[in-house]
């Protein structure tokens, strides 16, 4: 742009130092293309952020699993907490997987417990 200005103004001894553009009118098709590109960039960033969140959640779950794995009692307590949460939702059917040793040998759980389910 500077060279074009210099070619036009040099014969008159004029040097253009600065040019300011106040308004640009883009064709509608180009505006749409630019908007689509911006939208694609936003979606890509959103996917990256979501993937990073999934990765952090996965790490946290792994750490929690490692902690629970170290203590069988913690796992059994977690089962009971989950059962309590599910029962609070007033569902008519609850399917809850429990370790075999919890149902066949209640003495493996510290303390005595009674499981009662009422279906309304």
Per-residue pLDDT of 6-60, as tens digits, reads 888 888 888 888 888 889 899 999 999 999 999 999 999 999 999 999 999 999 9
Say how far residue 35 (Cα) sits from the centre of its chain. Answer: 25
Mean pLDDT of 109-120: 51
Residue with the two structure tokens 């640009």: 24
| Spatial CA neighbour of 79 closest among 99, 105, 64 | 99
**Are 63 and 33 found together in one domain?**
yes
**Are 35 and 58 found together in one domain?**
yes
The residue range of the domain holding 78 is 72-120
Residue with the two structure tokens 């630019």: 34
**Are 94 and 76 found together in one domain?**
yes
Q: Considering its fold, how many domains does the chain have in total?
A: 2
């Amino acid at each position: 742009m500077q060279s074009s200005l210099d070619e036009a103004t040099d014969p008159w001894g004029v040097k253009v130092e600065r040019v300011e553009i106040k308004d640009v009118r883009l064709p509608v098709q180009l505006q749409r293309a630019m908007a689509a590109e911006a939208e694609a960039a936003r979606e890509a960033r959103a996917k990256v952020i979501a993937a990073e969140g999934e990765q952090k959640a996965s790490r946290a779950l792994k750490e929690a699993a490692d902690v629970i794995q170290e203590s069988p009692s913690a796992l059994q307590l977690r089962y009971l907490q989950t059962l309590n949460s599910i029962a609070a939702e007033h569902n008519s059917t609850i399917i809850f997987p429990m370790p075999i040793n919890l149902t066949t040998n209640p003495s493996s759980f510290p303390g005595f417990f009674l499981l009662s389910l009422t279906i309304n």
